[in-house]
Structure 1
C-alpha cells in the first residue's frame, strides 16, 4: 500500500509503516489545493497534521484512498463529510499529545499568573524589575474549565492537586462525570466564567464553538486570567486583547490562533499581559513520537480491515472487545447481502437484531457491516464508513435492537430488509464460537456455510425437485459442495440452499426456471462484490 505524508511526523511512525511492508512517500511542501489533488492519485493513505488542507476535491480525486490519518487531535482542516461520502476513514491521534497539551496549559497558567515571560524579558534586557511584578497564586482559586474532554480532564487533575476549586462548562457531559473529577458542572457559560479566577479552554473548533468566547463572555471573567491552548478561533482575539488592555482581565495566555502563524499586526502582540507561544502544546519529543506511531497504527489497521480505534467517521470498538465481535462482522455482512438479493423491490427499512451474548457487546461496527452487505448487491460504492450515511441519504430507516434472550443459539445476528409491503430476514450464528453459519432464511431453518457461491432455490415441496436441481447443475459442470433443504409445511413451499464450487451459468438458471416446480432461483457470490439474481 502507498502512504503519502504531507506534514512532518516523527520517524518512529514512518518506520512503523515501512516495517509493515508499506511504501511511504514524504512531500512536506504540499499544503493542499491542486498540488494535493494531483499527488493523491494511487495513494491509499494520507497522513497530515494541521498544515495540509484536505478538501472535498481531494476526496473526489482519491479513488484509492482508504484512510486519512491526522497526527494530532484537531481535524478542522479535513472535510470529514466529504470523506464519509467517499467511504474514506478519518482518524486522529487524540491520546498521544494529551499529556503534553495539558502540561503546556498548566505552564501557561503559571506563566501568565506570575508574569514569567515579561520578567524574563526585562532581566535579559539588563533590568532588575523585581518590584514591578506582583503575581497571583492558584491555591484556593477557582478554575473554570470550558470543555472536559481528554485534555480538560488532565488539566483538572493537575490543577486540582494544586489546591484549585473546579467549575466545568460542557453541555455534552453528565453531572456524574463532573462529580468524578471533583468539579461542579455549570450549565450556563456566562455563569461558569463568572465563577472563575482562571479559565482554560479545551473544546474543538466547530461551528458552535467558533467565536464562543467574545466580549460579553470575557466580561464575566472580570479580573481573571484566560488560557487557550486548544484551537484558534474559539476566542475573539481582538476582544481579548482589548479586555486585557483595559484591565477587564488581569491577563491571558494563548498557544493557538485563528490565523497561524500569528500575523505581526495582531493586537495580542501589543498587550504586555498577554503571553503567546507558537502552537507548542504538542511540541514534546514524547508527544510527537506518540501521535506518529498512533497514526501509523490506525493506517495499518485500516489496511488490514481491522477496526480503527480513533476513527471519527466510522464505527469503532475498544481494542479489548474486538476479538469478541470480530467473527460477527463478516457474518452480518453476509446476512445483509443474502437478504438484499432475496427480497424484490426497493428497500425501505433495514433491521439489525442481536440476540444472546452478542447483545451485550458494542455492535456499531457489526451493524455498519450489515448495511454494507445490504447495499453492495445494489451496486453502490459502499463500505462500513459510508453505509450509515448512504442509508440516511436514500431515506432508508435503520433499526438496531438487542435482546439477551436467544431461543436456539448462544448468539444470533438477524438482518431484516423491508420493501414497504414485504420483509425478509436472514439469521446467522457461530458454531463452536468461530464457525459462521446462516441458520434461517425467510423463516426457513437452514444450515448454510456462508462463503463462495450459493444458490437459493424456492421450489414446490414435491418429489424429484432436488434431484432435478442437482442434475441440471451437474449437466453444467457445477459441483455441489453442500446443500440444505427446508420446508415449513408438507407439500407447501420449500427453500433449498446449495454451496457450490463454481458460478452457475445463465443457461442452467434458465433451465431450472423452465420447470413449473421452481418458483425462483437466486445465485449469491459471497467472495465478490455483487451477487446475481435471475
Structure 2
C-alpha cells in the first residue's frame, strides 16, 4: 500500500511507515493536476497546512483510506467530502500541545519584560537599561480564554509561577477549572476585567472571530495580550491602537488573520507589540510527535483498527452500526436541544436508553449525543472525538439503560446538568427517519425536531399562544408547526414552534416583555 506525503514531516514519521512495510512517496511541491495524478494510486495521504484536500482531490483518489493531518488544524481538508468518499480524516491534536503552551508562556515573559526590544537596542550598541521597566508575573492574574489542552497547560505553568488564574470557557466545568486552580467566570468581559495578562486558546470559528475587539481590550486596561492560538480572534488594528495609545502595556502574537503577515500590518508599527511567524509548534519534539502520531493512525487504518484521532469515522462493526444508525441523529438532536435550553456551566451529561435500543451497543449513540451537546460551541467535534472533548473539559458522562419504555418501542433521554439545575430532552424514532421529541423536562409533547425551533415557557393563560403567533406574524416569520404541553391547568405551559427562519432579537424581546411569557429560547438544529 502506498502513502503519499505532500507536506514535509519529521523523518521519524516516514520511517515508521516504511518499517510497517508501506511504500512512502514524498511530493512536497505538487498542486493542481500534478496533485491529482500523484494521489490517484495512494491509499494514505499525509498533509500539513500546505495541501488543500478538496472534493476534487478525494474524487481522484479511488483507493484512499485515510487522510492524516500532521498537526491539529483541518481547515484545509474537506471533511464532509472525505466522509462521502468513505475516507477517514485524522489529525494529531496532542503532539504540539506542550510546544504551543511553552511558546505562549515565552511570549508572556517576552512582552512583560520587553525582551526583544531590549535585545534589538543592545545589538545596535545602545545600553538602554533605564528605558525598560518590566512587569513581574508573580501575584498577577492570568486570564485564559479557552480552557482546552493548551489553555490548561499554560495555566499549570504560569500558576506554578505565582499567578492567579481566571478562565472563560462556556464548555468547561467548574470542577475541571478548579483542578488547575482556575476560577471559571460566566462571560469574557469578567475574565478580561480581572486579568493582568490574557492568553488565548480557542479555535477560530464564527463565534470567536474578532471576539476580542476595541471594547474588550478596554476591559484589560494596563494589561497584556498573548495570542498563539489562531489569527482572527483578536481585532489586529484595534490591538495595535490599544497598545500604541497606552491602553495596554504590550501584546505578543504568533498567529495572524493573514499569513504571512502583510508588510502594511499596523502591528509592525508598534514597538510594544511582539510578533513571531507562527512558531507555536516549531520544536523538534513537537514535529516528531505529530509525525509519528499521524503515521501510527495511518497504520491503524490500513489494519482495520480504531483510529485514535479520527474526525469522521464510526467505531462499530457493520451489523451493530446498521441497527443503531437511525438513533444517531436523534441522540445528536436531543443533545443540541438540551444544551441550548440549559443556562449554566454544564458539569455532567447523562444519556438514558429505554426499550429495544437498550439492548444494543450504544457507545456510538452516546458519542452522537455528546456531539450534539458540544455542537453549538462550534468546536471541531463529531461522534468520534466528542467523548474526548468531554473528558478534557471535566464533564462527567453517564449512560444508563432500562428494558422497558412506556408507550414507546425505544426512548433516548439526554440530560444536561450543573449539579443543581438540569434540562432533560427525550426522543423516540418512528421508522428510519421519523424522529420525535416526546418530552422536555416534565412537559410531554410530540415535536418534530427540524430547522429553527422556538421553545416558549409561559403561564397557562388564554390568549398566550395567540399572542406568540401574532408577534411572529407581524414580523413575517411563518410557523411551520406548533406543539403545546402543560403540567397542570393554570400552571406553566411549554410550546415548541417550528419556524421557517430564526426569530429576530426584536421578536424575542417583545415576547419576553409580556408578563405571560416566562422564557423564550431559540434552538438552532443546523439542518437548514
Please, what TM-score do these two structures have when normalized by structure 2? 0.62
CA drift of 1:336 comes to: 7.8
Q: Does 1:9 align with 2:17?
A: no
Which residue of structure 1 lines up, in the alignment, with residue 401 of structure 2? 403
Does the Cα contact within 8 Å between 2:53 and 2:78 map onto a contact in 1? yes
1:41-67 residue CA offsets vs partner (Å, 9 max, x unmatched): 222221111222222332333322222
Using the alignment, how far apart are the partners of 2:33 and 2:186 within structure 1? Answer: 44
Which residue of structure 1 lines up, in the alignment, with residue 242 of structure 2? 243
Does the Cα contact within 8 Å between 2:367 and 2:383 map onto a contact in 1? no
Q: Kindly tell me: are residues 329 and 156 of structure 1, through their superposed partners in 2, closer, same or farther at Cα, counting changes over 3 Å? A: same
Residue of 315, 332, 338 corresponding to 2:320: 332
Does the Cα contact within 8 Å between 1:3 and 1:23 map onto a contact in 2? yes
Using the alignment, how far apart are the partners of 1:353 and 1:121 within structure 2? Answer: 67
Does the Cα contact within 8 Å between 2:356 and 2:403 map onto a contact in 1? no
Does the Cα contact within 8 Å between 1:226 and 1:252 map onto a contact in 2? yes
Which residue of structure 2 lines up, in the alignment, with residue 179 of structure 1? 178
SS state at 2:109 partner: helix
Which residue of structure 2 lines up, in the alignment, with residue 302 of structure 1? 301
1:124-523 correspondence runs (5 A): 124-315=123-314, 329=317, 332=320, 353-355=357-359, 362-363=363-364, 403=401, 419=431
Using the alignment, how far apart are the partners of 2:368 and 2:202 within structure 1? Answer: 30
CA drift of 1:29 comes to: 0.9
Does the Cα contact within 8 Å between 1:332 and 1:366 map onto a contact in 2? no
Q: Kindly tell me: are residues 175 and 89 of structure 1, through their superposed partners in 2, closer, same or farther at Cα, counting changes over 3 Å? A: same
Q: What is the RMSD of the two structures over their aligned residues, measured on CA atoms? A: 3.0
CA drift of 1:188 comes to: 1.0
Which residue of structure 2 lines up, in the alignment, with residue 21 of structure 1? 21
1:381-400 residue CA offsets vs partner (Å, 9 max, x unmatched): xxx999xxxxxxxxxxxxxx
Does the Cα contact within 8 Å between 1:332 and 1:367 map onto a contact in 2? no
SS state at 2:165 partner: strand
SS state at 1:353 partner: helix
1:105-149 residue CA offsets vs partner (Å, 9 max, x unmatched): 100100000000010110011100000000001011111101111
CA drift of 1:283 comes to: 1.0
Does the Cα contact within 8 Å between 2:17 and 2:24 map onto a contact in 1? yes
CA drift of 1:331 comes to: 5.2
Using the alignment, how far apart are the partners of 1:8 and 1:269 within structure 2? Answer: 29
Using the alignment, how far apart are the partners of 1:175 and 1:385 within structure 2? Answer: 24
1:44-83 correspondence runs (5 A): 44-83=43-82
Using the alignment, how far apart are the partners of 1:385 and 1:21 within structure 2? Answer: 31
Q: Does 1:101 align with 2:100?
A: yes
- Structure 2 unaligned residues grouped into runs of 5+: 326-354, 370-381, 385-398, 405-427, 435-528
* Higher Rg of the two aligned structures: 1
Which residue of structure 2 lines up, in the alignment, with residue 111 of structure 1? 110
Q: Kindly tell me: are residues 333 and 280 of structure 1, through their superposed partners in 2, closer, same or farther at Cα, counting changes over 3 Å? A: same
Using the alignment, how far apart are the partners of 1:23 and 1:404 within structure 2? Answer: 50
CA drift of 1:402 comes to: 5.7
Please, what TM-score do these two structures have when normalized by structure 1? 0.62
Using the alignment, how far apart are the partners of 2:17 and 2:181 within structure 1? Answer: 41
1:478-512 residue CA offsets vs partner (Å, 9 max, x unmatched): xxxxxxxxxxxxxxxxxxxxxxxxxxxxxxxxxxx
Using the alignment, how far apart are the partners of 1:252 and 1:138 within structure 2? Answer: 15
Q: Kindly tell me: are residues 417 and 216 of structure 1, through their superposed partners in 2, closer, same or farther at Cα, counting changes over 3 Å? A: closer
Using the alignment, how far apart are the partners of 2:37 and 2:219 within structure 1? Answer: 49
Using the alignment, how far apart are the partners of 1:367 and 1:131 within structure 2? Answer: 59
Using the alignment, how far apart are the partners of 1:159 and 1:214 within structure 2? Answer: 25
Aligned residues: 356
Which residue of structure 1 lines up, in the alignment, with residue 510 of structure 2? none
Q: Kindly tell me: are residues 166 and 329 of structure 1, through their superposed partners in 2, closer, same or farther at Cα, counting changes over 3 Å? A: same
CA drift of 1:421 comes to: 12
Q: Kindly tell me: are residues 163 and 366 of structure 1, through their superposed partners in 2, closer, same or farther at Cα, counting changes over 3 Å? A: closer
Q: Kindly tell me: are residues 404 and 140 of structure 1, through their superposed partners in 2, closer, same or farther at Cα, counting changes over 3 Å? A: same
